[in-house]
Amino acid sequence: MAFDKEPPRSVGDSRSERQKPRRSAGMRGTPRNDSPEHRPISTVPPKPRAEPKKPERVSTSRYVKPKVLMGEVTAPRGLEIGKQRDAFRAFMIARHLRPTEWARAAGVPPGEVLGFLTGKIRTIAPQTLEKLACAANCAPGDFFR
C-alpha cells in the first residue's frame, strides 16, 4: 500500500525536529514546562500605605480661587471702553467711513482701527487718533461723543 510509506523529507528536516514544540525568541526555559517563565520580583510583601486625607472643599467651584481678584488690581473699565467703542463706531457710520480706507488715508495700520472696533485692542494711541482726525477733518474729541 502507498499509505505505509513516509512522506519525502526536505533538506534539514528530521523526525526529532518535527516532534519538538517551537520556541519564540523571547521565551526562556522549555516550552513543555508549565511553570511561569519569570519569578516574582520581590518576595517581601508590600507595606500598606495610609490613605491621604482629601482636603475639605469650601467652594462649590472646581477652579482654584485666586489670591488677588482682578478688580482689586485694576479698576474695571469694561463699560467705559465699550461706550468709547460704540461712540467711535457711531462716528464712522455717521461720516460713512470704512475702517481700512480711513486708516490708509491717515497713514495708520488698518489693524489698529479694526482691533479697537473688534475689542482686541483696548485703546487707540493718541498719535493715531490725531492722524485719523486729520484725515476725517475733525477734532480727536469728536470720535467719542
Architecture of domain 78-144: Orthogonal Bundle (1.10)
> Sign of torsion, CA 55 61 62 67?
negative
Closest CA to 143 of 106, 77, 75: 106
Amino acid in position 84: Q
Helix residue spans in 1-145 (DSSP H): 15-19, 70-73, 78-94, 99-106, 110-118, 126-136
How far is the C-alpha of 117 from the C-alpha of 91, rounded, in Å? 12
pTM above 0.85, yes or no: no
Domain range summary for the chain, segments of one domain joined by +: 78-144
pLDDT digits (tens, 9 = 90+) for 91-110: 999 999 999 999 999 999 99
pLDDT tens-place values along the chain, 145 residues long: 555 565 565 555 555 555 666 656 655 666 666 666 666 666 777 788 888 887 776 667 777 766 666 555 555 566 777 888 999 999 999 999 999 999 999 999 999 999 999 888 888 999 999 999 999 999 988 988 8
Rounded distance between C-alpha atoms, residue 142 and residue 99, angstroms? 16
